[in-house]
A and B are shown apart, each in its own frame.
Chain A
């Protein structure tokens, strides 16, 4: 009995031992289960992730990119919804038959279909390259083809075709700006896609939208530009005509409203070969990206600065040469196009005398010339909002020499962009202050930031003298019979691309002007690149000048500005009206008198 009891006790102990071991083992196995679940959740394999997403479908409700409008609300770029067909190759039994069906339905050639499907038969989505015409949509909806589906896609349209093409730019496949305003104002224009997630059962029937499954999309904002399409169109056609007549390589034309700093027109023409529309839209805006040497159009700034500083009076007679040229204190020979002998400081600007500019430039310190260049915004981007803007080229303070000092006074050894130039010129059209410029609509002067450059009286005086440029000086051929203009011509030799100086017979001719004289509403700059000398003059006054004049004559009436000149019977300017204008700004108001 005792042995039996002992055996039973031993057996009980053995059972407990095995039981404990088994339970420990089972517990360990059970504990691996949550770990495995966490592992699956935290690091799911790619196919598992795809499998999780398969139970829901995500769609992106169509949203609309903002329109680009001109200053009067005319549509330059807009978005609409187009229809496109796509093929699901997994549902296509025979690509050859599909090709025949598509050919019959929408006119797509069988070969095109084969090319599309080549190497893509394993995919689920192969889009046809072009948007469908309404009749094609109608046919596909009327007689569906197995494996071919229709989808709605956003389409960017440019109703003005090639007007302001390089300015407006274009969007890419994904409806994102690639060039021009489309690129620069992407943040404003872009629409924010929404999201709709729907859980579906195994038969793909929609069941419900989870709480965080719907995010509404947001349309992009419309952007109104300062560009006026009517002026833009005229500018482009007039510039194209001029470039053709002059046999020039290209031209740029910019119009700014000096009151608001709004850029009214940026027209650009290049003649190296015809461009496809897409390429034209991808062009850079050269009025902000490509600097040029302004030549004599720069002289009014130096003239006004020197006068303002009391370094020369307008009636001061300078020892400008009768012939040969003027030799500066450091031995540089400065030549003029024409020699008039000793001339007044006023005449120096009217006749665009390099020698006179050099004489006065030598009276200025380097610092004051550098300060002037800096104040006028040269060497810095204007921030107008056009894409690809560059700062231009200004000699650094360390490299600034006497040579630079006299060169800059004549508009050489400095490269500026047309936008910089036109903006700086606005100082004369205003009261000596320079406005900030913008491509965004700025109907009134709200948001305009001004920088005082010249004393108002000096600005007025310089403007009057530039009016004389139109009547007595280099701008005679650009004179308008309707509006009193003030302007300055510029003819600079073209720098060699490969470096090492200038071409002797190739020029960049420009003309910058404002009008009307008393209350300027426009500043217009035209730059003609490399005009053909054999077709006439290459001077700014006779190449770019007429373009500027025509633009002023076209734009001011369009803007409702009445002509301030009465044409005489011979078609010349009514001097009396100009005389009244000049009388109001008599030289006695000049500082220093």
Chain B
């Protein structure tokens, strides 16, 4: 049996290869955008300095994390004990935030842990630990999830505790964890009306969390009418919209954005998309959205190749987490949702964020690497047409 060049090309374009391309492209775009957004004019600047900057190093570290994760056998990541362990570690880290000397307050929220030179957000860990745990739980319990007390309730309890701990300081990530977990449980076999019943009180908790926190209320008001106080509460949204609208179709050009010079807060992190749109225009925005769509549908191709529910759920969890987080960020940036401190995956500046996200997408790629995936067993060559 011989293979035609076209078939060989199709084989090369396997999802795991595509994922590498997409992740690298997003990180590259992130490195460029972050460097531009954080631009200062030093006395002497050289291109080599940019190439060896901390941002570039972190980008490279993220690619390496992806490559390492891609080689991890899926049986490890779908293992019950690994998932439980991850959840326990996440829980401990979430509690450590409140320990004086370890937890650090940034922008009014206590989200960071600092141990020596290392600094990261435990919510990032909790987010991925929840995905691992729910995927493992859903895969193991399967049909039992249809029953409330034996299937769904324990899962909800664990996820609820994790989300609740995150919710104390980071509503956006808590919502993300809750939404992804709910969808995964639903897909795994939970009943919709069970989730709705539980969702209503959860919604109440979220509402209470918003009302009880003045800065969240302010953000909500600023979202509803950013022009009521454009230099106060509505400042973030107004400056973000200004950057988006000022870019035009082709943008002002790389480095020529104006909003990053003191107007747009959080320009390297949460509002990096505004900087991209200002400097690269709508075309830059379309590239970002296209990469996210490509990532999501490549992940879908991997889900389709899986025959085991827990592997499907893991893949779906990773894709949903990245995509929903991106959607939340983009909606905030484009003033379609109230401001939440949530980053654009793989593009917003962030050390642990980049590395962990790339690592998890690497795990997604590893599912495609495994010869036990159902479609992986399909013949490597296309059948020859009878002549």
Proximity string of chain B (298-321) to chain A, C-beta cutoff 8 Å, 1 when within and 0 when not: 001001101111001100100110
B183 at the interface (CB under 8 A from A): yes
Residues of A within 8 A of B306 (CB): 12
Residues of A within 8 A of B277 (CB): 37
Proximity string of chain A (7-39) to chain B, C-beta cutoff 8 Å, 1 when within and 0 when not: 110011011111110110011011111101110
Of residues 138 to 188 in B, which have CB atoms within 8 Å of A's CB atoms?
142-143, 183, 186-188
A56 at the interface (CB under 8 A from B): yes
B350 at the interface (CB under 8 A from A): no
Asked if residues B242 and A55 are in contact (CB atoms below 8 Å), the reply is yes
Asked if residues B230 and A30 are in contact (CB atoms below 8 Å), the reply is no
Known A-B contacts A7-B142, A15-B303, A27-B293; the reply to A52 vs B188 at CB < 8 A is no
A160 at the interface (CB under 8 A from B): no
Asked if residues B258 and A55 are in contact (CB atoms below 8 Å), the reply is yes
Residues of A within 8 A of B261 (CB): 55, 201-202, 207
A51 at the interface (CB under 8 A from B): yes
B334 at the interface (CB under 8 A from A): yes
* Chain B minimum-CB-distance residue to A18: B187
A323 at the interface (CB under 8 A from B): no
From A34, A44, A56, contact of B282 by CB (8 A): A34
Give CA–CA (A33, B293) in the complex, Å: 12
Give CA–CA (A190, B297) in the complex, Å: 63
From A29, A34, A47, A202, contact of B263 by CB (8 A): A202
Of residues 33 to 69 in B, which have CB atoms within 8 Å of A's CB atoms?
none
Residues of B within 8 A of A40 (CB): 241, 244-245, 334
A-B pairs with CB below 8 Å: how many?
A: 135
Residues of A within 8 A of B353 (CB): none
Asked if residues A23 and B296 are in contact (CB atoms below 8 Å), the reply is yes
Asked if residues B316 and A15 are in contact (CB atoms below 8 Å), the reply is yes
A203 at the interface (CB under 8 A from B): yes
A48 at the interface (CB under 8 A from B): yes
A199 at the interface (CB under 8 A from B): yes
B323 at the interface (CB under 8 A from A): yes
From A16, A45, A202, contact of B312 by CB (8 A): A16
CB distance from B110 to the nearest CB of A (A): 28
Residues of A within 8 A of B262 (CB): 201-203
Residues of A within 8 A of B239 (CB): 51
Asked if residues B300 and A19 are in contact (CB atoms below 8 Å), the reply is yes
Give CA–CA (A138, B384) in the complex, Å: 95
Give CA–CA (A26, B186) in the complex, Å: 17
Residues of A within 8 A of B330 (CB): 30, 33
Give CA–CA (A34, B292) in the complex, Å: 13
Give CA–CA (A17, B300) in the complex, Å: 11
Asked if residues A19 and B303 are in contact (CB atoms below 8 Å), the reply is yes
B324 at the interface (CB under 8 A from A): yes
Give CA–CA (A44, B187) in the complex, Å: 41
Give CA–CA (A184, B331) in the complex, Å: 58
Asked if residues A52 and B245 are in contact (CB atoms below 8 Å), the reply is yes
Residues of A within 8 A of B331 (CB): 29, 33
Known A-B contacts A11-B142, A11-B189; the reply to A199 vs B258 at CB < 8 A is yes
* Chain A minimum-CB-distance residue to B238: A51
B336 at the interface (CB under 8 A from A): yes
Residues of A within 8 A of B319 (CB): 19, 23
B215 at the interface (CB under 8 A from A): no
Asked if residues A8 and B303 are in contact (CB atoms below 8 Å), the reply is no
| Chain B, interface residues (CB within 8 Å), range | 35 or more
* Chain B minimum-CB-distance residue to A32: B336
Give CA–CA (A54, B297) in the complex, Å: 41
From A8, A22, A36, A38, contact of B336 by CB (8 A): A36
Known A-B contacts A12-B309, A202-B263; the reply to A52 vs B246 at CB < 8 A is yes
Residues of A within 8 A of B188 (CB): 11, 14-15
Give CA–CA (A14, B138) in the complex, Å: 12
Known A-B contacts A7-B143, A23-B297; the reply to A47 vs B230 at CB < 8 A is yes
Chain B CB within 10 A, most for which of A11, A56, A210: A11
B366 at the interface (CB under 8 A from A): no
CB distance from A571 to the nearest CB of B (A): 85
Of residues 38 to 64 in A, which have CB atoms within 8 Å of B's CB atoms?
38, 40-41, 44-45, 47-48, 51-52, 54-56
Give CA–CA (A44, B244) in the complex, Å: 10
Known A-B contacts A14-B189, A23-B319, A33-B330; the reply to A38 vs B246 at CB < 8 A is no
B289 at the interface (CB under 8 A from A): yes
Residues of B within 8 A of A11 (CB): 142-143, 188-189, 309
Asked if residues B245 and A48 are in contact (CB atoms below 8 Å), the reply is yes
B96 at the interface (CB under 8 A from A): no
From A19, A52, A56, A201, contact of B316 by CB (8 A): A19
Proximity string of chain A (361-392) to chain B, C-beta cutoff 8 Å, 1 when within and 0 when not: 00000000000000000000000000000000
Give CA–CA (A15, B230) in the complex, Å: 45
B81 at the interface (CB under 8 A from A): no
Give CA–CA (A287, B1) in the complex, Å: 106
Asked if residues A52 and B187 are in contact (CB atoms below 8 Å), the reply is no
Asked if residues A18 and B183 are in contact (CB atoms below 8 Å), the reply is yes
Residues of A within 8 A of B303 (CB): 15-16, 19
Asked if residues B293 and A55 are in contact (CB atoms below 8 Å), the reply is no
Asked if residues B320 and A22 are in contact (CB atoms below 8 Å), the reply is yes
Residues of B within 8 A of A27 (CB): 293, 296-297
* Chain A minimum-CB-distance residue to B258: A55
Known A-B contacts A7-B143, A16-B303, A34-B282; the reply to A51 vs B289 at CB < 8 A is no
CB distance from A169 to the nearest CB of B (A): 44
Proximity string of chain A (427-438) to chain B, C-beta cutoff 8 Å, 1 when within and 0 when not: 000000000000
Residues of A within 8 A of B209 (CB): none
Asked if residues A48 and B308 are in contact (CB atoms below 8 Å), the reply is no
* Chain B minimum-CB-distance residue to A208: B256
B285 at the interface (CB under 8 A from A): yes
* Chain A minimum-CB-distance residue to B183: A22
Residues of B within 8 A of A30 (CB): 289, 292-293, 296, 323, 326-327, 330
Asked if residues A14 and B246 are in contact (CB atoms below 8 Å), the reply is no
Asked if residues A14 and B327 are in contact (CB atoms below 8 Å), the reply is no
Proximity string of chain A (196-235) to chain B, C-beta cutoff 8 Å, 1 when within and 0 when not: 0001011100010010000000000000000000000000
* Chain B minimum-CB-distance residue to A42: B245
Known A-B contacts A33-B289, A33-B330; the reply to A26 vs B323 at CB < 8 A is yes
From A20, A33, A34, A201, contact of B300 by CB (8 A): A20
Asked if residues B282 and A41 are in contact (CB atoms below 8 Å), the reply is yes
Give CA–CA (A20, B263) in the complex, Å: 40
Give CA–CA (A12, B247) in the complex, Å: 45
Chain A CB within 10 A, most for which of B249, B306, B334: B334
Give CA–CA (A483, B242) in the complex, Å: 79
Give CA–CA (A201, B306) in the complex, Å: 52
Residues of A within 8 A of B205 (CB): none
21 examples of A-B residue contacts, CB within 8 angstroms = A8-B142, A8-B308, A14-B189, A15-B303, A16-B304, A18-B183, A19-B316, A20-B300, A23-B323, A26-B323, A30-B292, A30-B293, A32-B336, A33-B289, A37-B285, A38-B282, A40-B241, A47-B230, A199-B258, A201-B262, A207-B258
Closest 6 CB pairs of A and B: A202-B262, A18-B187, A201-B261, A55-B258, A40-B245, A51-B242
Q: A12-B312, A55-B263 are in contact. List 6 more A-B contacts (CB 8 A).
A: A11-B188, A19-B300, A26-B296, A32-B336, A40-B334, A55-B258
Residues in B lying within 8 Å of A, measured CB to CB: 142-143, 183, 186-189, 227, 230, 238-239, 241-242, 244-249, 256, 258-259, 261-263, 277, 282, 285-286, 289, 292-293, 296-297, 300, 303-304, 306-309, 312-313, 316, 319-320, 323-324, 326-327, 330-331, 334, 336
